[in-house]
Chains A and B, each alone.
Chain A
């Protein structure tokens, strides 16, 4: 398990009657880590989050948040954890600042501290100039940002974000992901869920891929890529040079060289060979126009994994039917 874990789940299970929404999942989130719960809708991500927050009963298993048990000590957990629900709602007739004021009162901040924290939080998410505007006029992206402002104001040690980017345009998504990276920089651990694999891939340190209530795969994206896609790194090069492909093939770790166009070469390697490739091109006094490594995409990992393990999917389907 993780050495310095802020969230530790062991065999966490949630059953609604005979239907199992979350099935014996175990994972840990380290301090200052961004951990992604990824998977299709209905895979059990939100249920897992609600169990961590103590907002729904745990059928079996155990979860610890900063050492507290959410079922027994919900207030201690909720005081330290900020939660942004899926499509967060605010009181539309109240201003952004008033909405935060209400939350701050519920948390129990004194008035001086309250105003300071609210101003700082709104500033942080770029909503300072809209502080006195009714939330009813806010766009979806602004509401999500206000939700993040609430977490900032709370001074949470853990931010739990349920589908933070769903329904946002690319610009708003980028802004939101920027704020989430900022959390990490401040040492706040982030647990986020999403069904949009490629969008959150860039921010997550580690991910857990959910499938039908179970964690199918867990680890960092490159690790998973090696594990599932066969450990291949693909390096694309666009450069001139006589005999360059042959020279590149001699780099240790390169298993294949492929010409994909005029001057365009694709290397298959078992590690990131960009430094060596660049050195080769320069040594040959070639002109290097492009050098890039293809990050393994979560989408590809996810698809490949379930292609490779169809029996697992089938098993799960029968279990669900039962």
Chain B
């Protein structure tokens, strides 16, 4: 059965309205200040550390992102922590908020499809996050130039730019999840709590749980244990399980992108390392290839989460 008209009529209108709401909201301002301050702190620590130690690093610029100085974590670590928080903060009340303000049925009685409303909200959130992340990225690049005084090479810029794109996709995953729960739960507080709970579970508990589960399903071989090695089967399963978490995927991509010497994102046999010059950097394209499955996985996760939310929203009753 063909629907009449375009599913996207009104999309731009919804997106612009939501975008202006986001950009002028107090919530967004708080989140942005939080991110900027934290990022500056991490950056400051990294620069101090770089000045102290690494004099001759071919990828000095990328160190800005990954170097940490106690007690502060690195910029990347901060970002992987704060980006989900920002995305959830923007998305948790997007649909149930309309419900509770009783604007939903009025808006949906205008000649637009529900698609336009949900997709417009998602895009607006994503654009908001992109703007803040791009600003942050420019800030880091600029400060790096200013404080270290060494201009970044083309490859470093390319790598850090892809890192920016990946971070936006990562934010998209959490935004889609927040949007999904804002469709499922009528109460914004419940939606926020459940999304944050899931984020904590997936980011902090799941990696530990993945190890435990892997050991239960594929018990370690005592012969490997005796040698002080991980059983390949167990290690593989653990990694497969851990990769269900977008946080794991993001961490793996970041390692591949920002540390050019990364050759693989999983356990490899010694035989596979034959002939490799350890510590030699990979070309940019090779690094991307290493992380490609993870990137696709993350994009897929965002799409799947959005689609689930979309399907539920389509079937939902609009009455209060």
Contact = CB atoms under 8 A, between A and B. Distances in A.
A78 B4 contact: no
A87 B102 contact: yes
Contacts of A91: 101, 103
B112 A89 contact: no
Contacts of B103: 89-91
B101 A89 contact: yes
Contacts of B1: 72
Contacts of B112: 75, 78, 106
Given A83-B106, A89-B102, A73 B111 contact: no
B4 A76 contact: yes
- With most chain B CB atoms within 10 A of its CB, the pick from A81, A83, A87 is A83
A107 B17 contact: no
Nearest to A55: B318
B101 A92 contact: yes
A78 B110 contact: yes
Contacts of A147: 106
Interface residue tally of chain A, by bracket? 20 to 34
Interface in A62-102: 72-76, 78-79, 81-92, 102
A133 interface: no
A108 B9 contact: yes
A91 B319 CA distance: 18
Contacts of B10: 105-106, 108
Given A50-B318, A79-B111, A108-B111, A102 B17 contact: yes
Contact of A89 (B106, B110, B111): B106
B1 to A, nearest CB: 7
Contacts of B113: 74-75
A165 interface: no
B135 interface: no
A194 interface: no
B14 interface: yes
B317 interface: yes
A46 interface: yes
A46 B106 CA distance: 14
Contacts of A89: 101-103, 106
Interface in A117-137: none
Contacts of A105: 10, 13, 17
B110 A103 contact: yes
Contacts of A55: 105, 108-109, 318
B109 A53 contact: yes
Interface in B66-116: 101-103, 105-113
A87 B320 contact: yes
Contacts of B101: 89-92
Contacts of B266: none
Nearest to B13: A105
A18 to B, nearest CB: 17
Nearest to B17: A102
A102 B102 CA distance: 16
B4 A85 contact: no
B159 to A, nearest CB: 41
B319 A46 contact: yes
B5 interface: yes
A175 B108 CA distance: 27
A150 interface: yes
Given A75-B4, A89-B102, 4 more contacts: A72-B3, A78-B110, A90-B103, A106-B110
Interface of A: 46-47, 50, 53, 55-56, 72-76, 78-79, 81-92, 102-103, 105-108, 147, 150
Interface of B: 1, 3-5, 9-10, 13-14, 17, 101-103, 105-113, 317-320
